[in-house]
């Protein structure tokens, strides 16, 4: 039996203490199997980003346990095994678009110009390689962030509002690219969104609100 | 309300960087304050220090037949004197004393009469060695001549009167015997006026009872003087102004006296002698002190300006929300208030602590003014560094442009105008012009009230320093831009296979990094140049001491009591490695009286150092060999060569005094070479010849001086114990002379100034390395968080941090060291007049430079390690845009 990509037991995240404590994520338990396509649906402030950060290994839980049995220990998650598309384009301002996209591969000592070009082409920014982040629009920067993840073909792909700064048409196009990439590379895909249209493209929908995972629904196969 | 909001926000989110910026301002304010107060204090006490050891300010000699009361009245009317004391001088044909079975008879001498409070007013005139001063006190040399002691009776042979007898009540030294017995009112340049060997000091009443009759019988043998201490409140703090003021007062008194008396102006003579010293002290403050203040301001500006990108983005956000330009400046204004006030206050407190530590009072109005000014200047610099760019950005940038983070890619105006090369050219032109004046930056000719200082020469080292700083910025930017291969090769050491991407990242920050290199280079250059100048000056002071004293120990007697007579005893004293006798006579070269030194050129080098630089041919051994081979050979000064148009081999006829009949006679010498310096020789012209030839020519083989090379620092003390108690013999150790030289105005001021600057120099280098790097890292915290989020290991993150530190650190320290050497060389060359003698090369304090460089490297390493540790764990919150 293939080990799960993510296993969570009583996972919770709080900020602050005492009367000022904020519960960003209430204790929750779940398992994510490999190759699952999950939409994390909920309004702003529902805890989607917090949950994604925990699953990406970027944050440490306040309570509970999280493991990645199918991938490895926390140290093995990055730079290649897990790819996170952030809500805000997290680009390094002193590196060009090409350098930003190549960065995870370079950090993993596996530079690959072809992969970088392929990823840029997939998001329609092949000619933007020499530009600096401050020369990009918000949407372009978002797409570079997406390309950066696609370039290293992660096993676990987490996307936090990946089309938040894109117009509808571009957003749909980019979502198709992400889905195709996940399918081609057998990646597990978890997308946090408040866009129902995106959610409908995923096989499992999780609803979140007020830091609580409300329900998990598997959509019928079409 | 908004101000409180911004204040809370600043303290909550940027407490560390704010504190660091305030610390940088504090350091700059402290340096400027300490330097300013030091200069003020040193300048305010220059005259006081210069004239501290003048025993009697004026000696007014009353003309024969003039009523002394009228003269004293005229002096009192001039209202310049704090104290007036009469002193009577009487010639004595000789002293004699019978001790045991022998009678000792001396040659002519003097008997002086002083009032009961004379020694209270002028305590430095007489040092009582034994007995009491309430009766006749015998000069120590006279006591030695007569073999007389306290209680003995001596006979005075009075001209025109029968002999008188007195009983000695005390024996004393007269430290200022030359001044006490100077000939007042005679033209300068006559034959040297030696003080009498035989002196008796009498109470005023006793003097009158013994010599009033002589005054009537032989009025030419008695004179009266008034010894005057001026009201020092009337003497300005600046020795140059003080010289003029005292001369005016003396001229005014001379006009009042209308020929009734002549004035020996000892105070003006002393001030005249230190005018050049005082001017050099002031010039050194300017040349060495002001770059420190400029550097402090630059460091303060760099540190305060470190958060410019963040402020720009914040202003853009506020403008996006509808704030006007004034409202957007509110937060920067709060930053200025916090950083500037805290920094200024801490800087003033630090300055007060440092000044107290070095014993300088801050209680005076001048010191308080400097402290206040420096504190205000720190606040103003912080305001200028923060508010001016903020206001400019708010006015000139669109909201969109203001939100950009990238380093400005356009070359700054100074670079387009080639200001760096222009400044270097300016430095070269001014240096070349100063060179044409033989580096006479200060002109204060002896006896001439006029002085001049070429302050414009100061522009040369400043232009060199700033020009080099800008040049390094240009070169650093050039090397960093576009991830140059050179840069990548250097970074491969710290970044390994990340070198290419690290170089690329650094290339986009070329402007900021180059400015960091420039600032670190200026700070390092300042510290290095100050250290080199200080050590070179110290080294020359040691050479000066060696030349002044002649050797480790100098034993000087007189022709009548030569030190050479004790040569065997000296050589046998423990701690003495070698002792060589040397004659010190006087000879007329034309009408010019010069010091003449007689040596054995084959052996003199055993006891003293004769550097090649002392001789015009730069070869001491060859010169001495030539002197040894030429019995009547003589070395003269360059001035003598020019005055008399001498060629090697020319005969030089000198007039030397014969010991047999005390008459001057012509003695021929052969000119064989030029001596620029010689142990114990004066600064002006002197002569060196074979002692054997001089002895034959003058019928005297007395060696007045013995030079001693010692192996034991206590040799001088041991020699003093070993030698017979002869007041004519004076033993001086090199250390004593060194202390005296180190007490000159320039030496004292330079020592204090450089001590401060060397300490602050280290602190500024550390601040430039640490704070500039650290604040830069803080500005790019988000980038490091992104790197960590992408999976960079600690080592990989460290590669980015270390590479920046290495680029800025290595370039800054190397460029700075080069700058320091260049500026030091220029300062030492231009300020040659401050050195005695001027150095041939600079002396390098490798220890201090090593400490500065290693210290800066260590601080940079600590900052890098600190940031590596701070970013060891990812923090999703720090990924959000600011």
CB A103 within 8 A of CB B791: no
Chain B: closest CA distance from residue A219 (Å): 31
Name the residue facing A78 among B407, B791, B879 (closest C-beta). Answer: B791
DSSP-assigned beta bridge partners for residue A8: A30, A66
DSSP-assigned beta bridge partners for residue B61: B225, B262
- Taking an 8 Å cut-off on Cβ atoms, the answer to whether B406 and A99 are in contact is no
Please, which pLDDT band fits residue B727 given cuts at 50, 70 and 90? low
Name the residue facing B505 among A60, A95, A104 (closest C-beta). Answer: A95
- Taking an 8 Å cut-off on Cβ atoms, the answer to whether B497 and A91 are in contact is no
**Cis? peptide before B837, omega within 30° of 0:** yes
What whole-number percentage of chain B has pLDDT above 70?
A: 94
What whole-number percentage of chain B has pLDDT above 90?
A: 39
- Taking an 8 Å cut-off on Cβ atoms, the answer to whether B792 and A53 are in contact is no
What pLDDT is attached to residue B384? Answer: 87
CA distance B536 to B543: 10
Please, which pLDDT band fits residue A154 given cuts at 50, 70 and 90? very high
pLDDT (tens digit, 9 = 90+) per residue, B50-63? 788 888 999 999 99
pLDDT (tens digit, 9 = 90+) per residue, A11-58? 999 988 888 888 999 999 999 999 999 999 988 888 999 999 999 999
- Taking an 8 Å cut-off on Cβ atoms, the answer to whether B876 and A58 are in contact is yes
Please, which pLDDT band fits residue B745 given cuts at 50, 70 and 90? low
Name the residue facing B505 among A59, A86, A94 (closest C-beta). Answer: A94
Mean pLDDT of B760-785: 85
B129 to B132, B133, B139, B173: CA distances (angstroms)? 9, 10, 10, 7
pLDDT at B149 > cutoff 60: yes
B39 to A142, B299, B754: CA distances (angstroms)? 60, 22, 12
Mean pLDDT of A77-95: 90
CB A141 within 8 A of CB A133: yes
Chain B: closest CA distance from residue A24 (Å): 13
Q: What is the DSSP string of B144-211?
A: HHHT--TT-EEEEE-TTS--EEEE--EEEE-TTHHHHTPPTTPPTTSS--PPPS-EEEEEHHHHHHHH
User: Chains A, B: CB contacts under 8 A, how many?
Assistant: 76
- Taking an 8 Å cut-off on Cβ atoms, the answer to whether B786 and A79 are in contact is no
Give pTM, 2 decimals: 0.81
What pLDDT is attached to residue B406? Answer: 45
**Residue B757: which H helix or E strand, with range?**
helix B745-779
What pLDDT is attached to residue B882? Answer: 59
CA distance B521 to B720: 53
- Taking an 8 Å cut-off on Cβ atoms, the answer to whether A79 and B790 are in contact is yes
- Taking an 8 Å cut-off on Cβ atoms, the answer to whether A102 and B509 are in contact is no
Mean pLDDT of B762-774: 85
A interface residues, B as partner, C-beta within 8 Å: 49, 53, 58-60, 77-80, 84, 86, 88, 90-96, 99, 102-104, 106-109, 132-134, 148
Q: Which of B63-67, B122-126, B339-343, B813-817 has the highest mean pLDDT?
A: B813-817
Please, which pLDDT band fits residue A221 given cuts at 50, 70 and 90? low
* Chain B residue whose CA is closest to A134: B404
- Of residues B126 and B541, more confidently modeled: B126
Mean pLDDT of B696-712: 93
Please, which pLDDT band fits residue B647 given cuts at 50, 70 and 90? very high
- Taking an 8 Å cut-off on Cβ atoms, the answer to whether B876 and A132 are in contact is no
Between vectors from CA B513 to CA B511 and to CA B516, what angle results, nearest 5°?
Answer: 110
pLDDT (tens digit, 9 = 90+) per residue, B439-485? 667 666 666 656 677 778 888 988 999 999 999 999 999 888 865 67
CA distance B143 to B590: 38
Best residue of B401, B791, B797 to probe chain A, by most A CBs closer than 10 Å: B791
- Taking an 8 Å cut-off on Cβ atoms, the answer to whether B406 and A91 are in contact is no
DSSP-assigned beta bridge partners for residue A159: A85, A191
pLDDT (tens digit, 9 = 90+) per residue, B340-384? 899 999 999 999 998 888 888 888 888 888 899 989 988 888 888
The pair of three-digit structure tokens given for residue A181, joined into one six-digit string: 């990439």
pLDDT at B239 > cutoff 80: yes
Please, which pLDDT band fits residue B284 given cuts at 50, 70 and 90? confident
CA distance A159 to A136: 20
Mean pLDDT of B322-326: 80
Please, which pLDDT band fits residue B671 given cuts at 50, 70 and 90? very high
């Amino acid at each position: 039996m293939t080990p799960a990509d993510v296993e969570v037991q009583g996972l919770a995240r709080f900020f602050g203490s005492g009367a000022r404590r904020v519960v960003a994520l209430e204790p929750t338990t779940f398992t994510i199997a490999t190759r699952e396509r999950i939409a994390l649906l909920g309004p702003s402030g529902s805890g989607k980003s917090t949950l994604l950060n925990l699953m990406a290994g970027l944050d440490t839980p306040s309570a509970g346990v999280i493991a990645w049995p199918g991938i490895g220990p926390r140290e093995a998650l990055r730079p290649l095994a897990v790819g996170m598309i952030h809500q805000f384009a997290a680009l390094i301002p002193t590196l060009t678009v090409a350098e930003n996209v190549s960065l995870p591969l370079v950090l993993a000592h596996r530079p690959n110009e072809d992969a970088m070009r392929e990823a840029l082409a997939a998001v329609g920014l092949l000619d933007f390689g020499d530009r600096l982040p401050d020369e990009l629009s918000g949407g372009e920067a978002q797409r570079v962030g997406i390309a950066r993840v696609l370039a290293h073909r992660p096993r676990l792909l987490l996307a936090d509002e990946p089309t938040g700064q894109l117009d509808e048409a571009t957003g749909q196009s980019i979502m198709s690219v992400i889905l195709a990439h996940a399918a081609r590379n057998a990646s597990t895909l978890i997308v946090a969104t408040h866009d129902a249209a995106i959610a409908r493209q995923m096989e499992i929908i999780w609803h979140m609100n007020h830091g609580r995972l409300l329900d998990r629904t598997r959509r019928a196969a079409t | 309300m908004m101000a409180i909001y911004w204040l809370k926000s600043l303290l909550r989110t940027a407490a560390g960087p704010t504190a660091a910026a305030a610390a940088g301002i504090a350091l700059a304010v402290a340096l400027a304050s300490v330097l300013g107060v030091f200069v003020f204090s040193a300048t305010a006490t220059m005259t006081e220090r210069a004239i501290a050891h003048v025993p009697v300010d004026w000696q007014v000699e009353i003309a024969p037949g003039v009523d002394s009361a009228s003269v004293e009245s005229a002096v009192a009317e001039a209202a310049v004197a704090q104290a007036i004391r009469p002193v009577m001088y009487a010639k004595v044909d000789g002293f004699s004393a019978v001790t045991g079975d022998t009678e000792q008879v001396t040659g002519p001498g003097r008997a002086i009469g002083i009032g009961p409070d004379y020694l209270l007013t002028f305590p430095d005139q007489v040092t009582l060695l034994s007995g009491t001063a309430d009766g006749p006190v015998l000069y120590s040399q006279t006591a030695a001549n007569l073999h007389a002691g306290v209680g003995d009776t001596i006979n005075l042979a009075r001209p025109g009167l029968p002999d008188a007898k007195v009983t000695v009540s005390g024996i004393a030294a007269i430290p200022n015997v030359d001044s006490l017995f100077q000939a007042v009112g005679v033209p300068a340049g006559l034959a040297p006026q030696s003080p009498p060997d035989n002196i008796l000091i009498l109470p005023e009443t006793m003097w009158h009872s013994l010599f009033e009759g002589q005054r009537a019988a032989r009025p030419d043998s008695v004179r009266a003087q008034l010894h005057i201490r001026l009201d020092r409140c009337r003497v300005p703090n600046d020795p140059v102004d003080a010289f003029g003021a005292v001369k005016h007062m003396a001229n005014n008194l001379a006009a009042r006296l209308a020929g009734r008396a002549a004035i020996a102006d000892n105070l003006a003579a002393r001030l005249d002698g230190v005018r050049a010293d005082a001017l050099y002290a002031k010039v050194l403050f300017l040349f060495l002190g002001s770059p420190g203040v400029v550097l402090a301001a630059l460091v303060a500006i760099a540190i305060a300006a470190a958060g410019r990108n963040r402020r720009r983005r914040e202003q853009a956000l506020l403008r996006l929300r509808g704030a006007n330009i004034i409202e957007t400046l509110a937060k920067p204004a709060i930053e200025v208030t916090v950083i500037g006030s805290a920094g200024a206050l801490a800087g003033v407190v630090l300055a007060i602590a440092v000044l107290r530590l070095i014993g300088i009072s801050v209680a005076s109005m001048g010191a308080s003014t400097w402290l206040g000014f420096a504190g205000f200047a720190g606040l103003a610099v912080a305001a200028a560094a923060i508010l001016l760019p903020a206001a400019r950005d708010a006015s000139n940038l669109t909201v969109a442009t203001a939100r950009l983070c990238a380093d400005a890619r356009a070359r700054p105006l100074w670079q387009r105008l080639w200001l760096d090369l222009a400044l270097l050219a300016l430095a070269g032109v001014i240096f070349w012009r100063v060179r044409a004046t033989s580096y006479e930056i200060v002109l204060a000719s002896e006896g001439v009230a006029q002085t001049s200082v070429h302050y414009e020469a100061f522009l040369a080292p400043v232009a060199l320093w700033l020009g080099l700083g800008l040049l390094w910025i240009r070169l650093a930017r050039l090397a960093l831009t576009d991830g140059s291969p050179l840069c990548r090769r250097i970074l491969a050491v710290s970044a390994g296979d990340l070198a290419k991407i690290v170089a690329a990242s650094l290339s986009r920050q070329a402007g900021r990094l180059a400015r960091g290199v420039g600032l670190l280079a200026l700070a390092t250059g300042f510290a290095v140049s100050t250290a080199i100048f200080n050590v070179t000056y110290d080294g020359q002071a040691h050479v000066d001491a060696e030349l002044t004293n002649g050797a480790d120990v100098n034993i000087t007697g007189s022709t009548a009591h030569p030190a050479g007579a004790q040569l065997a005893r000296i050589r046998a004293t423990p701690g003495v490695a070698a002792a060589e006798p040397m004659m010190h006579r006087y000879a007329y070269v034309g009408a010019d009286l010069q010091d003449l030194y007689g040596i054995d050129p084959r052996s003199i080098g055993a006891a003293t150092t004769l550097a090649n630089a002392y001789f015009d041919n730069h070869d001491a051994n060859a010169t001495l060999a030539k002197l040894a081979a030429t019995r009547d050979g003589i070395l003269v000064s360059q001035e003598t060569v020019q005055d008399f148009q001498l060629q090697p081999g020319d005969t030089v006829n000198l007039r030397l005094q014969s010991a047999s009949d005390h008459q001057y006679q012509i003695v021929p010498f052969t000119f064989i070479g030029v001596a620029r310096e010689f142990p114990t020789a004066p600064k002006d012209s002197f002569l060196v010849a074979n002692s054997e030839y001089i002895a034959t020519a003058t019928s005297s083989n007395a060696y007045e001086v013995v030079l001693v090379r010692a192996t034991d620092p206590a040799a001088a003390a041991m020699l003093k114990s070993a030698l017979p108690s002869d007041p004519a013999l004076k033993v001086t150790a090199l250390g004593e002379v060194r202390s005296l030289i180190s007490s000159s105005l320039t030496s004292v001021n330079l020592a204090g100034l450089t001590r401060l600057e060397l300490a602050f120099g280290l602190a500024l280098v550390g601040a430039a390395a640490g704070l500039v790097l650290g604040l830069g890292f803080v500005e790019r915290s988000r980038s490091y968080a992104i790197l960590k989020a992408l999976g960079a290991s600690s080592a990989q993150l460290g590669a980015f941090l270390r590479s920046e530190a290495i680029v800025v650190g290595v370039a800054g320290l190397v460029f700075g060291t080069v700058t320091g050497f260049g500026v030091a060389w220029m300062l030492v060359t231009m300020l040659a007049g401050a050195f005695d003698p001027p150095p041939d090369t600079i002396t390098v304090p490798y220890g201090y430079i090593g400490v500065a460089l290693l210290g800066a490297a260590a601080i940079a390493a600590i900052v890098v390690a600190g940031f590596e540790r701070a970013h060891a764990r990812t923090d999703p919150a720090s990924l959000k845009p600011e």
